[in-house]
Structure 1
Amino acid sequence: MNPLLKQVQDSGVIGAGGAGFPTYVKLDCQVDMVLANGAECEPLLYKDQVLMQRWTSDLFGGMLLAMKEVGASRGVIGIKKKNTDTIAILEATLPNTIDLCLMDDVYPAGDEVELVYKATGKRIPSGGLPKDIGVMVNNIESFINVFRASKNIAVTETMITVHGEVVTPYTAWLPIGITYQEAIDLAGGITCHDFVVVEGGPMMGSVTEDLSQPVTKISSGLLVLPKTNRVARIKQRSEQDLLRIGKAACDQCRMCSSMCPRGLLGYPIQPHLAMRSLQVSGVNNLPDALAAQACSGCNLCTMWSCPEGLDPSRVCGITKRTLRDNNHLLTPVQLQERTIDVHPLREYRGVPTKRLVRRLELTDYIHIKAEFIEFDVLKNQTSTKIPVDINHVTIPLSQHIGKPAVAIVKVGDRVKKGQVIGQAAPDALSVAVHASIDGNVISVDNVIVIKRI
């Protein structure tokens, strides 16, 4: 492993959102283009705008390092046209080898496949990766962390937006391992009684009521919503209920398939067939079930398209799981054979974010920007930042795809912020994890708990 890849692995850099794929693996390729995803199409999230505006040089530095590593002659940042303030800041110091790809304010512009197609005019092969067409994609925070890794600065914080039913929405760097409750308390607390927290964005995020969970490297948003909100109502449905209702109520209108972003790009996904497969038992439903495999989980069919209020997106996810468990998944070659031309009306079927926000019942929050706040976890008396009292952090050894890090500390050890507490598992897909505060190790298991001194 060459020096940069080793630094990126040892610094714990992963995709800062989504599944958390280790970045050192993404950098181990040769491609023509490095693409930074700054589209940020999930309503209410603001972290990418903050990062691009305030850590511009780190972003460019990380992209240039990545371009050199993968042999790319061109870098591109995908960003929505509406973000004129961010665009102006980027353009002021934009390197001559990096361009901006300006995108419409539609959902899901930030989907990797959509972004690659917009930037290159090429489609990632079905079941394939961006590198298959000469592109390496990562998000904004990950490129910033690549630059920091080259300076031997470990990932100990994540940029996160806290929004919704809170006193003061904000976006900030938060120490990995603080609880959801602590992150929400920094927003002044919750302003409604019966609520859920959406982890991530309202479209693709999941819901929880457990505020003891820790913030991790892949945390991007904590949205507090009333249980009566449409997003909360849909995401709280049990799997049993959504399958039962889908069987009874789907009238095969095909709106989910007609508006499916991946389907409009020609990929072999037809959510209405996945819904139809619920009405057929056993292996007889296999032809219809296979139409779910290329689903990206963008949730547009559920949150926007279905006139019956059903959940085709989760049905596709459940169907894919069943296909996988029964070894019925198509190979990438078979998926590619089923790919067709881009739909001629695709450009007319993008869903405007403003209309989506109304459908999601988020209008009351969207006009309140989650401004950047600087918190001082160390409580330096000379600092102008807002002091934060963090008593302890709970840091999972697994925050990424692959094998968990291997703990190298024991109970009673004193550690410093940035110190390695878990090494990457040897000869495996894995990255290191680090202490996010100074303190004493009080527990070591699947998570490492550090109490402030």
Structure 2
Amino acid sequence: MDVEPLLKLVQQAGVVGAGGAGFPTYVKLDCQVDLVLANGAECEPLLYKDQVLMQQWGHELCGGMLLAMKQVRASRGVIGIKKKNTDTIAVLESLLPENIELLLMDDVYPAGDEVELVYHATGLRIPAGGLPKDIGVLVNNIESFINVFRAANGQPVTETMISVHGEVVAPYSAWLPLGMSYREAIELAGGMTAKDCIVVEGGPMMGAVTADLDKPITKVSSGLLVLPRTSRVARIKLRSEADLSRIGKAACDQCSLCTSMCPRNLLGYPIKPHLAMRSLQVSASNNLSYSLAAQACCECNLCTMWSCPEGLDPSRVCATTKKALRDQQQWQSPAELQAQTTEVHPLREYRGVPTKRLARRLELSDYMTKKAIFHDFGIRPEKVAIPLAQHIGLPAQAIVKEGEIVTKGQMIGQPVEGGLSTAVHASISGIVTAVGDSVVIQHQATAESAALCN
């Protein structure tokens, strides 16, 4: 097909970065680069969605990559995948066109970090504060490339692949409709197998705890992990900011192991978590130089979950410090960050953290014996609440009204004209029962039955 309309098709289909921050893909594709890179490293323990996607929809992945390569005029495509995933590798090797190859990676964390992946694939570093396109690379995750292929063939984004794991009867990965609740997704796994649990949105390293099981699945949902409240992951993630600051002030002995194991620091970026921790112990003008050492943090959480011998939380300290830097207008420019960048550490390749050892440290080894394999539930929720804001930028503008009948795949929110915005579509057919920040849709029979009862 002619590639000129591709950006519009991708925007109108609502394609965004799936599993990340939700950056609109049509903007990413508006560039010229040499290499298109698909991130299939999937280094968060317990998540398995990318493996499922590559195993069962590998032809669509390659098709989406080829469309992207033509759009950005790249001569080469690469899929990053861990060597351990031999079943996935076998499937992909039978599908790859001549100009797409596999990049086989060690089973370490955080191999799937965009900066790590780009360096592994090219030997080049993304400039501090910069983007992959600055060095001629386009990076997207697996599901996004599949959605690009589908967009080019008239299929909008109405569902997302998600892994559900942990304290559930039967872990799974499945396509689930946008707007379906977390509660329903967990029920599909047979429900929780423990009484006092937390739910982590995403992976155990970078995911966040939520207490709201009525929250809807969105385009950026990647996993739901049900873990005991007494687990190490829960204990760390449930600490209050006041506690992490108080404990950090009292217990950090400035051993600097957090910095010596930091993946970004090992690549030479100006991030030093131990100095961010030191900022808790000083005030006034002396604080700023230490606080600035937090800005380049990618919040991979390795310092907290792995490195710190005191069980402190340098990652969250960096995150809260970064917010303070923004609020106080002390954020450094990319040029200022780049000026502080140093050479890649000579021992970097020997400091990768093996995923199996990380899982043991996280107290997840028992769950690792089960994969969240693919299930086709053919699920049809009675109601969905589809947010109009599922991406970075401006929310889509609702174009449906209460009482209107819509069909699955119909656009219910259009992109904002001239803004960073993408479309949103109905994930089920039914009647619109509410329009606000979300569009609520009920199956017609359900809505009519409710009306009769009232």
Q: TM class by shorter-chain length?
A: over 0.9
Once the 2 structures are TM-superposed, how far is the Cα of residue 326 of structure 1 from its aligned partner? 0.8
Say if 1:16 and 1:139, in contact at 8 Å, map to a contact too.
yes
2:427 aligned to which of 408, 431, 436? 436
Q: Does 1:409 align with 2:411?
A: no
- 1:357 equivalent to 2:336? Answer no
Q: Given the alignment, which residue of 114, 117, 120 partners 2:119?
A: 117
Structure 1 match to 2:69: 67
Structure 2 counterpart of 1:340, one-letter code: T
Report if aligned partners of 2:4, 2:71 keep a CA contact under 8 Å in 1: no
2:214 is matched with which residue? 212
Q: Which runs of 4+ in 1 moved over 6 A?
A: none
Q: How big is each residue's C-alpha offset from its partner over 1:270-301, in whole Å with a ceiling of 9 and x where there is no partner? A: 00000000111123200111100000000000
Name the structure 1 match of 2:438. Answer: 447
Instruction: After superposition, give the CA deviation of every residue in 1:146-201 in whole Å (9 maximum; x if it has no partner).
Output: 00000110000000000000000000000000000000000000000111101000
The residue that corresponds to 1:334 in the other structure is 336
Q: Is the 8 A contact 2:182 2:217 kept in 1?
A: yes
Q: Is the contact made by 1:420 and 1:435 (CA closer than 8 Å) also made in structure 2?
A: yes
Structure 1, residues 37-61: CA drift from partner, whole Å, max 9, x if none? Answer: 0000000000000000000110000
Unmatched 5+ stretches in structure 1: 378-387
Q: Any gaps of 5 or more consecutive residues in structure 2? A: 445-454
Q: Distance in 2 between matches of 1:209 and 1:333?
A: 40
Match of 1:159 in 2: 161
* Corresponding residue number in structure 2 for 1:271: 273
Q: TM-score scaled to structure 1, two decimals?
A: 0.97
**Superposition pairs for residues 100-249 of structure 1, below 5 Å?**
100-249=102-251
Return the alpha-carbon distance in structure 1 between the equivalents of residues 215 and 378 of structure 2.
22
State the AA in 2 paired with 1:451: Q
Q: Is the 8 A contact 1:195 1:209 kept in 2?
A: no
SS in 1 for 2:281: coil
Distance in 1 (alpha carbons) for counterparts of 2:28 and 2:128: 18
| Aligned mates of 1:21, 1:276 — CA distance in 2 | 33
> Per-residue displacement from partner, 1:78-134 (whole Å, max 9, x unpaired)?
000000110011001210000110000000000000000000000000000000000
Equivalent residue for 2:52? 50
Cα pair 1:397 1:404 within 8 Å, conserved? yes
CA contact (8 A) 1:19 1:218 kept: yes
SS at structure 2 position matched to 1:285: helix
Alpha-carbon contact 1:179-1:213 (below 8 Å) kept: yes
How far apart in 2 are the matches of 1:267 and 1:376? 46
**1:3 partner amino acid:** P
Length-normalised TM-score, structure 2: 0.97
1:7 corresponds to: 9
The match for 2:410 among 395, 398, 419 is: 419
Q: For residue 317 of structure 2, what is the amino acid of its counterpart?
A: V
What is the CA-CA distance between 1:68 and the residue it aligns to? Answer: 0.2
Alignment match, 2:85? 83
Q: Deviations over 1:2-21 (max 9, x none)?
A: 41000000000000011100
Q: Which whole-Å CA distance do the structure 2 matches of 1:102 and 1:179 have between them?
A: 36
Give me the whole-angstrom Cα distance separating, in 2, the residues matched to 1:79 and 1:282: 46
CA contact (8 A) 1:34 1:135 kept: yes
Aligned length: 442
RMSD over aligned CA atoms reads 0.8
Distance in 1 separating the partners of 2:431 and 2:307: 51
